[in-house]
């Protein structure tokens, strides 16, 4: 059995990934259970994971270097999957510090821990937001992504650059995954599809930006989990 550290395990993607991997691996799960959206939903996801004997939960923040170092030193994971991040594009406008702490400092601490305690593979969540104002569709991993339109996107692009540097400097195998909007049961309540559905049920108008000239890609949660599992 592999020892896998997964961050953000009380989140939508993280909790589903743990359920997929926990029967054949030892999972050390990390989450700070922040208040970005309903804590009860996160606690409900977590409660379903704690029944597994091969799952261990550690509450803490990625920006706490001592916390991260101690976990890596104690458990020496084979694989690390970093899904923890401060999410939300609009939220980043009013709360930029949260994104620097979690997405930049936190990811740096994970990279440093992988350097000190070598791992077979670091898989991390990037985001489709890195494509910014690109007009070309469909998107490609080879597209230029130097024009982020939000601080959230800028932190995710920074993650890709940081991982690339650590991979080259310290021979750490890394893979970044640019997730597009993920949907499914018990998904994030702040996502557009939930907001649209609630407005339709209430008979309210849905506000559309950019004169309605916009497109959105969605990915079902099971496909995300399958993709991460195959990559790692």
Residue 154, token pair as written in the block: 């800028």
Q: Please report, for residues 66, 100, 172, 220, the alpha-carbon distance to residue 164 in angstroms, rounded to integers and kept in the order given.
A: 24, 19, 9, 28
* Closest to 27 (Cα-Cα) out of 78, 83, 64: 78
CATH homologous superfamily of 2-182+218-231 equals NAD(P)-binding Rossmann-like Domain (3.40.50.720)
Which pLDDT band, with edges at 50, 70 and 90, does 75 fall under? Answer: very high
User: Tell me: the pLDDT tens digits for 41-60?
Assistant: 899 999 999 999 999 999 99
* Closest to 42 (Cα-Cα) out of 201, 190, 169, 144: 190
User: Tell me: the pLDDT tens digits for 94-149?
Assistant: 889 999 999 999 999 999 999 999 999 999 999 988 988 777 777 778 778 888 88
Backbone angles phi, psi at 49, to 5 degrees: -90, -30
- In sequence order, what DSSP letters do the residues of 120-143 get, joined into one string? SEEEEEEEGGGGTT---SS--TTS
> Which helix or strand (DSSP H or E) is residue 57 part of?
strand 55-59
Q: What is the pTM of this model?
A: 0.91
Chain-centre distance for alpha carbon 232: 15
CA distance 51 to 66: 28
Residues carrying an active site annotation:
152
* Closest to 129 (Cα-Cα) out of 176, 82, 184: 176
Which pLDDT band, with edges at 50, 70 and 90, does 61 fall under? Answer: very high
Average pLDDT, the chain: 91
Q: What percent of the chain has pLDDT over 90?
A: 66
What residue ranges do the domains of the chain occupy?
A: 2-182+218-231
User: Tell me: the pLDDT tens digits for 146-184?
Assistant: 888 899 999 999 999 999 999 999 999 999 999 998 999
């Amino acid at each position: 059995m592999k020892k896998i550290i997964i961050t953000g395990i009380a989140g939508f993607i993280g909790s589903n990934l743990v359920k997929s991997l926990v029967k054949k691996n030892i999972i050390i799960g990390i989450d700070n259970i922040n208040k970005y959206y309903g804590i009860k939903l996160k606690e409900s996801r977590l409660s379903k994971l704690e029944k597994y004997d091969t799952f261990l939960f550690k509450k803490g923040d990625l920006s706490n270097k001592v916390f991260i170092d101690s976990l890596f030193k104690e458990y020496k994971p084979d694989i690390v999957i970093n899904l923890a991040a401060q999410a939300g594009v609009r939220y980043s406008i009013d709360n930029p510090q949260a994104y620097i702490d979690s997405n930049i400092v936190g990811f740096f601490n994970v990279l440093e821990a992988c350097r000190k305690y070598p791992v077979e593979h670091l898989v991390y969540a990037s985001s489709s937001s890195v494509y910014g104002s690109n007009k070309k569709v469909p998107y490609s991993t080879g597209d230029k992504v130097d024009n982020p339109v939000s601080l959230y996107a800028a932190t995710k692009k920074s993650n890709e650059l940081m991982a690339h540097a650590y991979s080259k400097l310290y021979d750490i195998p890394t893979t970044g995954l640019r997730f597009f909007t993920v949907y499914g049961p018990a998904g994030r309540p702040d996502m557009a599809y939930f907001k649209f559905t609630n407005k339709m049920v209430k008979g309210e108008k849905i506000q559309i930006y950019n004169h309605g000239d916009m497109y959105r890609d969605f990915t079902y949660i099971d496909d995300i989990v399958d993709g991460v599992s195959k990559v790692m």
